[in-house]
Amino acid sequence: MLNALINYQFIRLALAAGILTSIVCGIIGVIIAEKKLVMLSGGIAHTAYGGVGLGYLCGFEPLLGALGFAICAACGIGAVNRRKGASSDVITAMLWSFGMALGIVFIALMPGYPPDLNSYLFGNILSVTKLDLYLEAGICIIVLAIVLIFYNDWKSYLFDSEFAGIIGLWTTLLEYSLLIMTALAAVILIRVVGIVLILALLTAPAAAASLVTKKLGKRMLLSVLLGIMYCTGGLCISYYFNIPSGATIIIISVLCYFAVYALRKTAKK
């Protein structure tokens, strides 16, 4: 792997993508898990498939289309959540299906043979390009800036959102920021593990970290480190055994979560 890292650019790009992805997902995953928004994040992620299809149909970068669709879905779900009596679960499910259906239709409308979308559905970290990496780096900077600037506000919001509103925090801004950051995280995960497997990598490192510590900062840091370990390990295994990278990363992350869970239960006895 060391020789490949030195000699092959696609390995270096893949490793960099794994690190950037782990930073974003490690931070956002903790917040999502704490607010119990896992399925909502899945709806946002799957809606992005419509943007991928539109990108191919119109001839622009599919990830930019995915980003636009994901952010629109996040804002739409946020608006529904702010309205009393509206069911966000129903809206999330409909957007989930609607986005996937749009992607299928857009691809079907393309002239000639349809493109291979397996890397978008199931991920292929070895196919990451420099443009993908620049996009991921930009998203990483945005997410880090939002979380660090409003870190104390996030702590209050996660502890009790109603109390946070009472003490004067703008909870609407925090809620929409969280949803948009979830959309950003989903987009950078598309190339690494694919739309179908996004939920696992978005939640598994955060879930494992929560079994070790309850402090928000430590959980985020540990979640980031676990994500880097999963992505790097999955990259190495997939490279040597010529198996799908996205699925390999997810298998490692889920097995490690259950290992941490079992060790924690054993230690309590």
pLDDT of 5 reads 53
pLDDT of 226 reads 94
- 101 pLDDT band, cuts 50/70/90, is very high
Q: Tens digits of per-residue pLDDT, 26-57?
A: 888 888 888 887 888 888 888 999 999 999 99
Are 102 and 72 contacting, i.e. CB atoms less than 8 angstroms apart?
Answer: no
Domain ranges of the chain: 2-268
Chain mean pLDDT for the chain: 84
For the cut 80, the answer to whether the pLDDT of residue 267 exceeds it is: no
For the cut 60, the answer to whether the pLDDT of residue 86 exceeds it is: no
Q: pTM of the predicted model, to two decimals? A: 0.84
Residue in this structure with the two tokens 């899945």, named with its chain if needed: 42
Domain spanning 2-268, CATH class: mainly alpha
Q: Tens digits of per-residue pLDDT, 115-173?
A: 778 778 887 777 788 888 888 888 889 988 888 888 888 878 777 777 777 777 777 78
- Give, in order, the Cα–Cα distances in Å from 76 to each of 44, 52, 139, 172, 194: 10, 19, 20, 13, 23
Task: Say how far apart CA 26 and CA 247 lie, in whole Å.
Answer: 18
Q: % helix / strand / coil in the chain, to the nearest 5? A: 85, 0, 15
Nearest to 133 by CA among 229, 15, 253, 258: 15
HSE value, Cβ hemisphere, 13 Å, CA-based, for 36: 4
pLDDT of 269 reads 63
Nearest to 31 by CA among 136, 135, 153, 139: 153
Are 73 and 183 contacting, i.e. CB atoms less than 8 angstroms apart?
Answer: yes
